[in-house]
Each structure stands twice: as C-alpha cells, then as structure tokens.
C-alpha cells in the first residue's frame, strides 16, 4: 500500500480537531481558513483525509474508485468488527455499504420503488400533513418549527412512504436516535446493549409487517420493493435491516433542515420578503439555496475508502485511505459561488452536495426536497408575517456531521 506524503500543517490539524471533536456554533470561519491553508488535508490525529473545496468534493463523490467498507468504518470508529450481536449483524445488510457489482442491481430496485414520480403522487398528502400541523399551531398563535412541524411532518411522511402505521413510529424513532451514535468512537457496553435490544424489537415488528406486505403488497416502499424484486435480489434480512435505515435517513436531516431554513429566512428578512412575492415559483430554487447556505448535513463520516491510489486536487489519496468531505465548506467555496456567505434565493446554478452524489446519492432526496418545499410554501401563504419569538435558538451540536437548532419558535401572523 502506498502512502501519500504532505507537509504537516499544525494549524490545519488544530482546525480539523476542533471541527471533529468540539464543533463551534458557527463553523464557517474555520471552514474558510482550512480551505485556504489545506483544502485537502490528512490530519495527524485521524486516519483519514478532509476536503473543503467544492470541486474536489464533487469529484470525490462521483469517483467510483471510492468504495464503502463496513469493517473498516467500524475499525476507524473504534468498534469491534464482526456480526456476533443483533445490531452489528443488521449493519451487515445495509445497502449503503454495498459496492459494485452487487450494489447497482439492488440500488436500481430501490430507485424504481422510491423515484420522483412516486414522491410527486404524495405531494397532495404532504400538503395535508403540513396543514394539519399549521392548523394546530394557529390555535396557539405560535409554532415551534423544528419539532412541531419538521419532526411531525417527516415522521408522518416516512411512515406513509414505508407503510408503517403511525402508531408504531416510536419504535423506529427510538432506533433512529440510537443509530446516531452507531459510529461514535468507543461506544459503551450499555450503548451496545441498548442498540442490540432496539434492533431486536424493530426486526420483530418488521418481520410481521413484511410478511403482510408479501401477502398483499401496498403502494408503499416495502410493497413496491417486493413487487419489483422479481429476481429475489433483496433477501428478507436485507429488507428488514434497510427499512429502519431508510426511516432514520428520512426523518432527522429534513426535520432539522426545515428549522434551519426558517431561521435563515428570519435572519435574512429581505429574502423572506422576496420569497413571499411568489412562493410557488421560487420555492425549488430557494430550497436548493437554503441547503447550500446552511444545510443540516455539514459533512459525512469517513465511509468512502480509496480502492486504489486516486489523485484529486493535486493530492494522491492512497489506497485504503478514508475521506471526510466537509459539505458545508464546499457550499461556501468562493471559487464555486460568488458571495458565498450571502443567502440569495435567486442564485443561479446551485448544485448542493448535501445529498452526496454518484452511485450512493441519497435515496430519499426527492422526498426531502418535497417536504421542505411544501412546508415553506404553506407557511408563506398562510402566515407571511411570521417573526422569531421566545428564547434565541441554540445550536444543538451532533458532532461534525450535523448542524441543527434545538428549537425555532415563531409568532404566526
């Protein structure tokens, strides 16, 4: 295995350490400095590279020579390898850790079952879901955007998409909150036991649900996958393991993005006023720009490994080396976007990296966009004069990967 050699940059090491171990409430100045002094950097304290420039990350997510390796990811997170417990055994079946050539046929089935057309049929229902939460808020004259709207909407929506009864959602929500710590270093024995217990509970519930769908497939993701999988590519174990993974991915990031979006609008009132002039016409571009400006997804764990030496941005990423892309830094790259620190919902050619790219682009991207678009349009049309109220929101730090607010309270008007 070859080894890439670069000069040690102590300041870059310090910035990477801060971003990964103690992320600040406002990471953007640190991103800018790291992008300036060491845009592709292998810090001395971690066994992977970080990237901060847009073009480098765009090339990396499209590059087929970067693969997924579950055992290596566990090793880097300080977790034991192997599948001798329920939660690690479930991870073995997550399709996000598949690689070509096995990956593409299975991913094609998921794409067929969860495509843009399917999501478009859900839009009237999503409007109803949003209006239900806004009706409840209207009675109080106030709305907490993150949980009263974002969380309730995304859980309603992903339960419907998967064919999971809403009354059973707590089981999957609890599993999703647990999985946030799945790749944290040195997980405690207590955490491992809880992860195993919740995995067993979820799998028991899903075994019954999948059995019912096999008897009578519904127009939901589980039923559509069963109907599309005429060659039996997805095993029972794989299907049961991936349903809670899709649930988790479909809940957390969109919940918090809706909060980030409203907060960004309230702190850039000129852009909110502009949005009010034509919410339906402006919303698609506005959502892309809001993701660029302050996404709830700031980076990715080091899931991508070089399967051979790969040169990006003039640096050789050695075979076996992992990558952490800082999407939040790429979205503020002045080489890609003019005035990148300014929110501009009329900005042209916005291409967010928050959904990844290439073979492993986010499966639920169309649903996430639809939920955010509909939430913003309905708020704008029903309550154009909203204002921030209550305590100043604080950033609820969830490591380097996510940038989330604990609450965003608005007075309805």
Taking each helix axis from N to C end, the angle separating 365-382 and 269-276, rounded to the nearest 10 degrees, works out to 90
pLDDT greater than 90 at residue 229: yes
Q: Is residue 399 part of a domain?
A: yes
pTM recorded for the entire structure = 0.93
- Closest by CA to 236, choosing from 215, 207, 209, 196, is 207
Q: Please determine, for residue 180, whether its predicted confidence score (pLDDT) is greater than 80.
A: no
**103, part of any domain:** yes
Question: Would strands 322-325 and 48-51 be described as parallel, antiparallel, or unpaired?
Answer: parallel
Residue at 4 is within a domain: no
CA-to-CA distance for 34 and 329, rounded, in angstroms?
9
Of 119, 125, 143, 139, residue with least CA distance to 379: 143
* pLDDT over 50 at 326, yes or no: yes
Whether residue 1 lies inside any domain: the answer is no
Examine residue 2 and state whether it is found in any structural domain, yes or no.
Answer: no
- What is the number of domains present in the chain? 1
Instruction: Give CA–CA dist 70/203, Å, rounded.
Output: 20
Tell me which residue has tokens 């991913």: 107
- pLDDT tens, 122-162? 999 999 999 999 999 999 999 999 999 999 999 999 999 99
Which of 217-251 are b and which e, b meaning 16 or more Cβ less than 10 Å from the residue's Cβ?
beebbbbbbbbbbeeeebeeebbbbbbbbbbbbbb
Domain hosting 120: range is 10-411
Query: How much is the mean pLDDT over the chain?
Result: 91
Backbone angles phi, psi at 342, to 5 degrees: -100, 135
pLDDT digits (tens, 9 = 90+) for 38-74: 999 998 877 789 999 999 999 999 999 998 877 776 6
| pLDDT classification of 177: cutoffs 50, 70, 90 | confident
Q: Where are the alpha helices (DSSP H) in 100-151?
A: 103-113, 116-140
- Higher-confidence residue: 8 or 263? 263
Instruction: Round the CA-based radius of gyration of the chain to a whole number and report it.
Output: 21
Residue 398 clears pLDDT 80, i.e. is over it: no
pLDDT > 70? residue 80: no
Residue 24's CATH number: 1.10.630.10
Q: Would residue 3 count as lying in a domain?
A: no
């Amino acid at each position: 295995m070859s080894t890439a050699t670069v000069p040690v940059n102590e300041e870059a090491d310090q910035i990477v350490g801060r971003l990964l171990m103690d992320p600040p409430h406002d990471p953007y100045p640190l991103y800018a400095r790291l992008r300036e002094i060491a845009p592709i950097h292998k810090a001395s304290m971690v066994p992977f590279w970080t990237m901060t420039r847009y073009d480098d990350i765009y090339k990396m997510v499209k590059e087929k020579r970067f693969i997924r390796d579950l055992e290596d990811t566990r090793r880097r997170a300080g977790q034991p390898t192997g599948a001798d417990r329920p939660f690690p055994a479930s991870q073995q079946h997550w399709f996000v850790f598949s690689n070509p050539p096995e990956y593409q046929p299975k991913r094609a089935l998921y794409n067929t079952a969860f495509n843009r057309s399917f999501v478009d049929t859900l839009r009237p229902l999503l409007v109803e879901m949003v209006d239900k939460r806004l009706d409840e808020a209207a009675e109080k004259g106030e709305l907490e955007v993150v949980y009263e709207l974002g969380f309730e909407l995304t859980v309603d929506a992903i339960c419907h998409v998967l064919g999971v009864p809403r009354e059973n959602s707590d089981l999957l929500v609890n599993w999703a909150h647990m999985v946030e710590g799945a790749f944290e270093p040195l997980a405690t024995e207590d955490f491992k036991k809880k992860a195993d217990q919740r995995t067993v509970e979820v799998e028991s519930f899903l075994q019954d649900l999948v059995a019912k769908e096999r008897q009578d497939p519904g127009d939901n993701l589980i039923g559509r996958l069963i109907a599309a999988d005429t060659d039996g590519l997805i095993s029972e174990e794989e299907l049961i393991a991936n349903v809670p993974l899709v649930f988790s991915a479909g809940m957390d990031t969109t919940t918090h993005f809706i909060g980030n979006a409203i907060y960004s609008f309230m702190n850039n009132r000129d852009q909110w006023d502009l949005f009010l002039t034509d919410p339906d016409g402006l919303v698609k571009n506005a959502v892309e720009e809001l993701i660029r400006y302050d996404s709830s997804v700031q980076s990715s764990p080091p899931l991508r490994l070089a399967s051979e030496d790969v040169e990006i941005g003039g640096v050789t990423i050695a075979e076996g080396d992992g990558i952490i892309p800082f999407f939040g830094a790429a979205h503020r790259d002045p080489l890609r976007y003019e005035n990148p620190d300014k929110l501009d919902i009329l900005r042209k050619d916005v291409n967010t990296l928050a959904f990844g790219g290439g073979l492993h682009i986010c499966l639920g991207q169309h649903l996430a966009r639809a939920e955010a678009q509909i939430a913003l349009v309905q708020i704008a049309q029903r309550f154009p004069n909203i204002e921030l109220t209550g305590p100043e929101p604080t950033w609820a730090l969830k490591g380097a990967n996510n940038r989330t607010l604990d609450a965003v309270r608005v007075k309805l008007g």
